[in-house]
Amino acid sequence: MADAEALRVQVRLTADLHPELFVALASLRPRGRADRLRQLALLGLSAHRCADPGHNGSAQATDPAEAATDALPATPDPRRARLLGALTLDD
Count of domains for the chain:
1
pLDDT at 91: 37
| 74 is a domain residue | no
| 64 is a domain residue | no
Cα 30 to chain center, whole Å?
18
- Dihedral angle over CA of 38, 41, 42, 48, nearest 10: 180
pLDDT at 22: 92
pLDDT at 59: 47
Specify the range with the lowest mean pLDDT, choosing from 13-22, 49-58, 75-84. 49-58
Q: Give the pLDDT band (50/70/90) at residue 66.
A: low
pLDDT at 90: 54
- Which DSSP string do the residues of 43-77 spell out, in sequence order? HHHHHHHHH-TT--SS--SS-HHHHHHHHS-SS--
| 78 is a domain residue | no
Across 64-91, average pLDDT: 61
Which domain covers residue 36, as residue numbers? 1-50
